[in-house]
Structure 1
Amino acid sequence: MSGAGDNPDEALVSQARAGNKRAFSKLVEHETGRLLALATRMLSSPSQAEEVVQDSLASVWLTRHRLDPDKPIGPYLTTVVLNRCRDRLRRRKVADFFGLSGDEELHSVADDLPGPEALAVSREELNLVQAEIARMPVRLREALVLVTIEGRSQAEAADLLGTTEKAIETRVYRARNRLKERFEKL
């Protein structure tokens, strides 16, 4: 059973609900990096990921009265960001259909690996993996990113996505098999 005091952010959530911007900033600052990484993995675009996270945090601020002081903020923020990513992916799909999109940053990768040869090989491999993940249906991509890349349990992912653990297990299995099949051919 959960009781008062179970959530270490309880006081900050209460202050943020009351309109304290500093408390809200403090509340979300330790989540921002993780949310940005999640959005980048979902969208394959660092700039779009930044926009999604900023929009999500602004939305949470505007609807701060919905925050529950008894619940951790992380899962709530993750759900908001995932929903914004889904919206962005739907818009991208429509734009692609009508030929109105460009893949300006589809394959950008951080270049912090040592040596130019290792960097080139790693970048190419990462681009291939990112491109393959980007081609997956959103349901498979979400499950794969949450469980495999973010390290969440299947139960957490199921809770965040509003489905069962078995569905998450199946989606992750299918996503991994897609990647495996794709890269066995290379």
Structure 2
Amino acid sequence: MADPVSLPREPAALADYGDDRASQWEHVSLLYRAPLRGFFAKRVRDPAEVEDLTQEVFLRLVRRAGGGPIEHVKPYVFQIAANALRDWHRRRQARDMDAHESYDEEIHQLATEISPERVLLGEEAVELVVAELHAMPQRTRDVFVLRAMENRRYQEIAGLLGISVRAVEKHMAKALAKLGRALESEGSPE
């Protein structure tokens, strides 16, 4: 029977990584930096955030260094990573970070360029659309409102009104054509 090949064992305790603290942390950093980046990259889209979270893990490890010896480094490192990720999600949720939009000068400048004339033209267009909607047959108006205002699907509208999907499509096309003609004739010089 042949001797099994012994694979190099990953050090378990922090003391196994070197003789002094500096070499221990250097070895831990070299060994776990790439796996930590991979761990965070699977869970966070922004590469800058991945790097920040990786650094946060090492910062927490160094802060912890004054405590007792770390006996099982790998699970400890990834527990810190999981906690850092959980804290990161909590901070984003508290600050509603996903709802923020970056400043775009083109978009924001348009808002300042709205003249009183443009406002008046917009109000007149809205009044025209409302008048056209009131002039439509009830079923056509209902289909348009359910689709355009309430964003319902054709199949859902058909079920609500007790008509076929094809009938919903026809009513919607009729409403759009009528509104399009009205807005077109309003915008053309007489």
TM beyond 0.5: no
TM-score if structure 2 supplies the norm length? 0.41
| Higher-RCO chain (CA-CA 8 Å, sequence separation at least 6) | 1
